[in-house]
Amino acid sequence: MEGSVAYENDLHLKATELRLGLPGTDEREEHAVSNVRNNKRPLQEGGANGKSDSQNETAPPAKAQIVGWPPIRSYRKNNFQSKKNESEGPGIYVKVSMDGAPYLRKIDLKVYTGYRELLQALENMFKFTIGEYSEREGYKGSDYAPTYEDKDGDWMLVGDVPWEMFITSCKRLRIMKGSEARGLGCGV
Amino acid sequence: MRRNGAEDMSEDDERQQSPRSDLEFTSNKARYCKATGSASDHPDQVLENVLENVLHFLTSRRDRNSVSLVCKSWYRVEALTRSELFIGNCYAVSPGRATARFTRVRALHLKGKPRFADFNLMPPDWGAHFNPWLLAMAKPYPWLEKVYLKRMSVTNDDLATLAESFSGFKELVLVCCDGFGTNGLASFVSKCRQLRVLDLIESEVIHDGTDWISCFPQGESHLESLIFDCVEWPINFEALERLVARSPLLKKLRLNRYVSIGQLYRLMIQAPQLTHLGTGLFSPLEIAGQGDQELDYGTAFAACRSLVCLSGFREIIPDYLPAIYPVCANLTSLNFSYANINAEQLKPIISKCHKLRVFWVLDSICDEGLQAVAATCKELRELRVFPINAQEDIDSPVSEVGLQAISEGCQKLQSILYFCQRMTNEAVIAMSKNCPDLVVFRLCIMGRHKPDPVTGEPMDDGFGAIVMNCKKLTRLAVSGLLTDKAFEYIGKYGKLVRTLSVAFAGDSDMGLKYVLEGCSQLQKLEIRDSPFGDAALRSGLHHCYYMRFLWMSSCRLTRQGCQEIAHAMPRLVVEVIRSADMEMDDFVETLYMYRSLEGPRIDAPKYVTIL
């Protein structure tokens, strides 16, 4: 599912993007996606259709998927899947904090179609500039780095994962400032 | 012992114990009821009239089953006075036979597919069609008022026919049903002028595009209960608001997730008399930054002074939780099983819920949340903890710590369903001792074959303690690493167990043998992925007529073995079900076996073979 989502929501900085394939090949996006997936615990994605046969999505490779186990009815499992199959419906509200700002803001991630829009909105909201994103170096050229807390409680750099995966795993945003921010970009 | 149809022996979640005293009853009473010839018809008739009047008051179906066994006269009169007909397996008896015996039925309670069908273990279109029952009832039961269906297939046409055939129809409850859509609902509600109850619970409703809410007839409605939280499609809110406004008797309203909190507010101020409320989305639909004024949701809740049961919270934004504070003190039932909240968010709510008897929640609250529940909810009778993340081998937000806390704090607990990734024998044993009133114990350790993480031992002792110490236990679901020893305990001590669910457990045929030989009250046995074979099944055949059904999937049964059983037991229907795309071979993928007065059914799809 994630693999078939086009990468067009991301920052198209191909020149600085890390790729697995040889320069000039086009499979890199698929590889990059699958790499990302293996690094993280699998998300609650998968069959939104209640009648699908396989219940467990992207289970760890050691255990094969088992139909009907654990014994949770489909509608319960599906309730916590990402709502990306809906075109309408409730928003995904997350709090946004900025180091040094006196109060937090709340935004609806569903309103944005991709990282570019989101970052622009954040720049407007907090009156600052984010640097140029590269997978290798994070946000260069600015004192700020947008980060988010994901479902596992880890703080991640915004922009690393495909947009669809991001909006379903993002619990809150934090715009880091200063040396902490710069640290994120280097050699991670 | 004479059997009067499968419905006699089936019971459901009734807590009554039914000792096998039917035989004694028969021999004592029979001599008073002998027909004595034409001259004595009059006294017999008087006796029957008296009996009829008396039996009208008898509601328990187990008592009725016993009464019907006394003698022919009592059988007849009981059949005349039975107004609520319960059929635990729709294939155990034919509609014609049931309507012929019971001629004055006002309410039908019918169950179809076995429970494992909920987990995609049964191919769709297996059966359990409501249609033949509907057609059979139209003439004999013109005064039919209520139909309760569980795990049945109902079509749009069925819904229309239902409303058309019974002019006084009042209550329709569909639990875990499928096959129908909004079109059918529209036909049904528009034709059913006396409708009081329409409850759609955990059913799959097809989206035909019809605005069914608008189809309720105009004018004052008799609606007392409208439950549609399982309908996964938007509804016409304005029509719903008008409907609620003209339903002064409405007590139960459970909204689906397409009703926002703002809309909920509007409904609540129209219906402060509600006792049961499903809150729908429990967040706004509007996007952030539109600056609409926040409504005072707390006031709306405070106005609902009779509210005792809350559910919904489908997309909860925890900021809105304080709105329910005013009703917490009166709540007896709270369903947070869709609310992704943590312990900190739960505590201010649960600390006010002193009267809570039923609590459904997600494991997002963690052990800490369960400790908070244990600290306050001393009246808790039923707890269900569902996993947010239904996968194996991930970290466990709830564990033996939560179970231990609950066992210590909620000692009146009768029913528990607990999903977790880790559990210890110690905690389970503690629960068996602290909660002697347990009737239902369902523990699902999601990692298959998982031993006690502290001792490395199987979970045998824990479940053994449950059957030993919980003397009222009638329903048990086991999990984790289990050897035959666990089943030995169950067979030896689980004398009242009626429903047993087993998955990925046991070592050998002995496990199943212990259960079939020991559990004399066993009615429903569902087993998957366990190493039980033909020999085990054969050893327990004597018990099978007493059971409503037996399900075994991915075990070690062979076609040959099942064939022998089918030959040996003529009143059992032995269904062998395979996946639609698999070839028939010697290995039996799924066995579903049940007693029936009718023999093999004629509506079985091609991947079901009846031996």
The per-residue pLDDT for range B474-522, each reduced to its tens digit, is: 999 999 999 999 999 999 999 999 999 999 999 999 999 999 999 999 9
Q: Calculate mean pLDDT across residues B176-199.
A: 96
- Would you call B444 and A68 a contact, using CB atoms and an 8 Å cutoff? no
Is the ipTM higher than 0.90? The answer is no
Check CB contact of A40 with chain B, cutoff 8 Å.
no
- Residue A59 inside a domain? The answer is no
Question: Using CB atoms and an 8 Å cut-off, which of residues 187-206 of chain B contact chain A?
Answer: 202, 204
Task: Check A44 against B389: CB less than 8 A apart.
Answer: yes
Predicted pLDDT at A183: 57
> Closest approach of chain A CAs to the CA of B261, in angstroms?
11
Mean pLDDT (chain A) is 66
CA torsion B85-B86-B92-B95 (nearest 10°) is: 30
Give the model confidence (pLDDT) of B231-241 as tens digits. 988 999 999 99
Q: Decide: A53 and A67 in contact? Cβ < 8 Å.
A: yes
Q: Do B120 and A77 touch (CB under 8 A)?
A: no
Alpha-carbon torsion (B64, B66, B69, B74), positive or negative: negative
Residues from chain B contacting residue A79 (CB–CB below 8 Å): 314, 338
Does B342 touch chain A if contact means CB atoms closer than 8 Å? Answer: no
Distance from CA of A93 to the nearest CA of B (A): 8
CB contacts < 8 Å between A and B, how many? 90
Please check the confidence at residue B37 and state whether its pLDDT lies above 50.
no
Q: What percent of chain A has pLDDT over 70?
A: 54
CA distance A133 to chain B (A): 27
Q: pLDDT confidence of B252, banded at 50, 70, 90? A: very high
Please state, in angstroms and as integers, the Cα–Cα distance from residue B562 to each residue in B30, B242, B581, following that order. Answer: 40, 57, 21
Calculate how close chain A gets to B58, using CA atoms only, in Å. 37
Q: Do A70 and B419 touch (CB under 8 A)?
A: yes
Q: Which residue of A lies nearest to B229 if distances are taken between CA atoms? A: A75
Closest CA to B521 of B20, B8, B1: B20
Has residue A2 got a pLDDT over 80? no
Q: Mean pLDDT score of chain B, rounded to an integer?
A: 89
Determine, yes or no, domain membership for A74.
no
Look at chain A and count its residues. 188
Query: In Å, how far is A87's CA from the nearest CA of chain B?
Result: 12
Instruction: Give backbone dihedrals phi and psi of B595, rounded to 5 degrees, phi first.
Output: -80, 150
Across the range B82-90, mean pLDDT stands at 93
- Say if residue B31 is exposed, middle or buried (CB neighbours under 10 Å; 0-12, 13-18, 19+): exposed
Q: Tens digit of pLDDT for each residue in B401-415? A: 999 999 999 999 999
Q: What element of type H or E holds B549? A: strand B549-553
d(CA A129, CA A25): 33
Task: Tell whether omega for the bond before A70 is within 30 degrees of 0, i.e. cis.
Answer: yes
Check: CB of residue A184 under 8 Å from CB of residue A157. Answer: yes
Interface of A with B in 71-110 (CB under 8 A): 71-77, 79-80, 88-91, 93, 106-108, 110
Quick: pLDDT tens for B267-277.
Answer: 999 999 999 99
% of chain B beyond a pLDDT of 70 = 91
Model confidence over B337-385: pLDDT tens digits? Answer: 999 999 999 999 999 999 999 999 999 999 999 999 999 999 999 999 9
The pLDDT tens digits of the residues spanning B106-153 come to 999 999 999 999 998 888 889 999 999 999 999 999 999 999 999 999
Chain B partners of A51 at a C-beta cutoff of 8 Å?
Answer: 120, 124
Q: What is the pTM of this model?
A: 0.75
Q: Does A5 map to a domain?
A: no
In tens, the pLDDT along B267-312 reads 999 999 999 999 999 988 764 444 445 788 999 999 999 999 999 9
Contact between chains at A72 and B448 (C-beta distance less than 8 A): no
Structure tokens belonging to residue A155 = 């703080």
Query: In 3D, which of B108, B114, B136, B109 has the Cα closest to residue B127?
Result: B114
Domain with A148 in it? 93-181
Determine whether the interchain pair B387/A50 forms a contact, defined as Cβ–Cβ distance below 8 Å.
no
Helix (H, G, I), strand (E, B) or coil at B270: helix
Asked if B57 is an interface residue toward chain A (Cβ–Cβ < 8 A), one would say no
Residues of A in contact with B418 (CB under 8 A): none
Residue of B607, B594, B534, B605 whose CA lies nearest to B9: B594
Residue A19 has pLDDT above 60, yes or no: no
* Cβ B172 vs Cβ B135: under 8 Å: no
**Mutation site for B-interface testing, chosen from A45, A55, A76, A122 by largest number of B Cβ within 10 Å:** A76
Query: What percent of chain B has a predicted confidence (pLDDT) above 90?
Result: 74
Cα distance between residue B275 and residue B306, in whole Å: 5
**Residue B581 has what pLDDT?**
61
Q: B35: pLDDT confidence band, cut at 50, 70 and 90?
A: very low
Cross-chain Cβ contact B392/A59 below 8 Å: yes
B388 and chain A in contact, CB less than 8 A: yes
Which runs of consecutive H residues, i.e. helices, occur in B138-285?
156-165, 182-191, 237-245, 261-270
Nearest chain A alpha carbon to B258: A89
Query: A40: which chain B residues are within 8 Å (Cβ-Cβ)?
Result: none
As a whole number of angstroms, the distance between CA B30 and CA B50 comes to 17
Which of B317, B338, B419 has the CB atom closest to A93's CB atom?
B317
Per-residue pLDDT, A81: 57
Q: Which residue has the higher pLDDT, A76 or B408?
A: B408
If pLDDT is split at 50, 70 and 90, which confidence band does B47 have? confident
Report the residue of chain B nearest A82, measured CA to CA: B315
Q: Does the pLDDT of residue B2 top 90, yes or no?
A: no
Q: Could you give the angle at the alpha carbon of A117 between the alpha carbons of A112 and A121, nearest 5°?
A: 95
CATH classification at residue A152: 3.10.20.90
Nearest residue in B to A53, CA atom: B120
CA dihedral B21, B22, B23, B29 (to 10 degrees): 110
The reply to whether A140 falls in a domain is: yes
Dihedral angle, C-alpha B521, B526, B531, B534, nearest 10 °: 70
* CB spacing of B118 vs A59 below 8 angstroms: no
Q: B151 to chain A, minimum CA–CA distance in Å?
A: 13
Lowest average pLDDT, out of A74-88, A168-182, B172-186, goes to A74-88
Instruction: State pLDDT tens for residues B199-211.
Output: 999 999 998 889 9
Chain B residues lying within 8 Å of A72, measured CB to CB:
119, 386-387, 390, 419
Q: Name which of A35, A19, A13, A23 is nearest A140 in CA terms.
A: A13
Which residues from chain A sit within 8 angstroms of residue B340, using beta carbons? 80
Q: Which of A56, A72, A111 sits opposite B287 (nearest CB)?
A: A111
Per-residue confidence band for B48, with pLDDT thresholds at 50, 70 and 90:
confident
pLDDT at B609: 87
Alpha-carbon gap, residue B476 to A96, rounded angstroms: 47
Total number of domains constituting chain A: 1
Amino acid identity for residue A186 in this structure: C
Q: Which of B287, B315, B391 sits opposite A108 (nearest CB)?
A: B287
Partner residue opposite B120 with nearest CB, options A67, A80, A106: A67
Spatial separation of the C-alpha atoms in residues A146 and A97, rounded to whole Å: 10
Interface test with A, best of B113, B116, B120, B501 (most A CBs within 10 A): B120
Q: What are phi and psi of B72, to 5 degrees?
A: -60, -40
Please name every residue paired with A175 in a beta bridge, in sequence order, or none if there are none: A98, A146
More confident call, B459 vs B611? B459
In terms of Cα–Cα distance, which of A88, A116, A127, A110 is closest to A167? Answer: A110
Total Cβ atoms within 10 A of residue A40: 17
Q: Mind telling me how many Å the CA of A179 is from chain B's nearest CA?
A: 31
Report the distance separating Cα B351 and Cα B360, nearest Å: 15
Comparing CA positions, the residue from B106, B39, B35, B108 lying closest to residue B74 is: B35
A164 sits in which H/E element? helix A163-169
Mapped to the 3 state alphabet, what secondary structure does B85-153 carry?
Answer: EEECCCCCCCHHHHHHHCCCCCEEEEECCCHHHHHCCCCCCCCCECHHHHHHHCCCCCCCCEEEEECCE
Domains present along chain B, CATH in parentheses: 46-78 (1.20.1280.50)
Buried b (16+ CB within 10 A) or exposed e, B443-474: bbbbbbebbbbeeeebbbbbbbbbbbbbeebb
Q: Give the model's pLDDT for residue B42.
A: 66
Residue A93 and residue B288: Cβ atoms within 8 Å?
Answer: yes
Residue B46, strand partner residues: none
Report the amino acid identity of residue B197: V
Nearest residue on chain A to B312, judged by CA atoms? Answer: A79
Which residue in the block uniquely carries the two structure tokens 């096959």? Answer: B179
Between CA A127 and CA A100 the distance in angstroms is 12
B120 vs A42, A55, A106: nearest CB: A55
Flag if A70 and B390 touch (Cβ within 8 Å): yes
DSSP B414-464: -EEEEEES---HHHHHHHHHH-TT--EEEEEESSTT---TTT---SHHHHH
Nearest-Å Rg of the Cα atoms of chain A is 18
Q: Do strands B171-175 and B146-150 pair parallel, antiparallel, or not at all (unpaired)?
A: parallel
Question: How far apart (Å, rounded) are the C-alpha atoms in residues B411 and A106?
Answer: 43
Question: Reduced to 3 DSSP states, what percent helix, strand and coil does chain B have, rounded to the nearest 5?
Answer: 35, 20, 45
Q: What pLDDT is stored for residue A113 in this prediction?
A: 75
Asked if B444 lies within 8 A of A70 by C-beta distance, the reply is: yes
Q: What share of chain A is helix, strand, coil (3-state, %, to 5)?
A: 30, 15, 55
Please report which confidence band the pLDDT of residue B541 belongs to, taking 50, 70 and 90 as the band edges: confident
3-class secondary-structure state, position B408:
helix
Residue B393 and residue A63: Cβ atoms within 8 Å? Answer: yes
Strand partners for A138: A134
Q: How does A100-120 read in b/e, with b if 16+ C-beta sit within 10 Å?
A: eeeeebebbbbebebbbebbe
Residue A131 maps to a domain? yes
Nearest to A73 among B118, B448, B503 (CB): B118
Are the Cβ atoms of A72 and B285 closer than 8 angstroms? Answer: no
